[in-house]
Amino acid sequence: MRRSPARLQLHLIWVSGALACACTTAPVTPTADPEGVPPAAAALAFRLSYPTEPFKLRERLRMSLHMSGQGASRLVMNLVGTLDVRPHTGETLRVDSTVERVHKYEVEGALQPDGDTDIDLVEFLSGRRHFAIVNIRGEDDEGATSALSENVRRRGTLDRLRMEAAANGKPSAELRVESMGLGDAVLSLPQLPDERLVSGQTVKVPRKEEVRALGATEVRVAVDRTYDVQAIDSSSGQRVITIDFQIEGSGANETPAPAAKITITYEEHTKGSLSFNLDAMIPVALNVVQSTSISTGEMHFQQSLELSAQFEGI
């Protein structure tokens, strides 16, 4: 199904939000540092990762999304759910997420479902489940995720709903809501950086080219990342590290059109912080502020995202 520009942007938020959600944990010992870091510094060096043993988290998520330009809209979400994580194969993990309670869900403008607006989105989202395969840094394995039997069944259901919509000349309420992207993951593990970090130091990652998916179109984006690693906090009895991060990205792409080529330009600016329990190897809190600008020919879209998530082991 082709996404409208507004829904295309919402899809982008989930993708680039995960990429911006910073931050993998095996502390480096003073006697095993291949990079020649002095022992005193090496004792505070680490590379974050999730454990390859089963664990379960409760996530409390607050998110506010505003869009301006064509397709102006607003989305506010406040919900609680669980992440059930267990080993899959090799160094991959299966993550089953479940939305338990929706405290608030408000949507205005172009993000509302197409057609009738009498759909109870809170009821639709409550109990929603998502299934994914990720690596030990929380990065989605798209092929393995797609092959999960639950996701195969979901695609079959969507195909049936589309066929019914074509026959009836009108999409069902379920199909209209699914087309918003609400069937995608709402709760997820933060994606962790691959870089080796040292407490009290700033790490500037060499510029990388990444791909941002905009519906059926892709844009290659030059991305600069900076991590400011704070001192380890042991006041809770466990070692918790906080990593402030900043991400800047920009790129452009030309897409063929019937009459002429259309240039798509993309810019993103992201700031945030991740707190991570080095002993339990689980996230504690994630905060993200992101602004994105997309231009396609004469159309311009801007979106701003504020996200706050707290995690606790259960």
Looking at residue 7, what is its pLDDT? 31
Distance CA 109, CA 102 (A): 20
**Model confidence band, residue 73 (pLDDT cutoffs 50, 70, 90):** confident
Residue 216 vs residue 155, higher pLDDT:
155
Is residue 132 within 8 Å of 140, Cβ to Cβ?
Answer: yes
pLDDT at 27: 39
Q: What is the mean pLDDT of residues 43-60?
A: 91
The answer, yes or no, to whether residue 57 has pLDDT greater than 90, is: yes
pLDDT exceeds 60 at position 96: yes
| CA 132/CA 182 separation, integer angstroms | 15
Q: What is the mean pLDDT of the chain?
A: 81
Distance separating alpha carbons of residues 14 and 12, to the nearest angstrom: 5
pLDDT tens per residue across span 251-304:
988 776 666 678 889 999 999 999 999 999 999 999 999 999 988 877 888 999
Chain centroid offset of residue 90 CA: 23
CA atoms within 13 A on the CB side of 131: 14
- What secondary structure, in 3-state letters, does 231-256 show? CCECCCCCCEEEEEEEEEEEEEEEEC
Quote the pLDDT of residue 114: 59
- Give dist(CA 76, CA 180) in Å, integer: 14
Q: Which helix H or strand E contains 178, and what residues bound it?
A: helix 173-178
Q: What is the share, in percent, of the chain residues with pLDDT greater than 70?
A: 78
Bridging pattern class, strands 262-277 and 45-46: unpaired
Cβ atoms within 10 Å, residue 249:
24
In percent, the amount of the chain with pLDDT more than 90 equals: 51
pLDDT on residue 184:
65
pLDDT one-digit tens code per residue, 10-47: 333 333 333 333 333 333 332 234 444 444 444 478 89
Strand order in the sheet with 92-109: 129-135, 92-109, 73-87, 55-69, 299-313, 282-296, 262-277, 240-255, 217-229, 202-214
Highest mean pLDDT among 65-79, 85-99, 245-259: 85-99
Q: Give pTM, 2 decimals.
A: 0.80
Residue with tokens 């267990």: 86
Residue 129 has pLDDT above 70, yes or no: yes
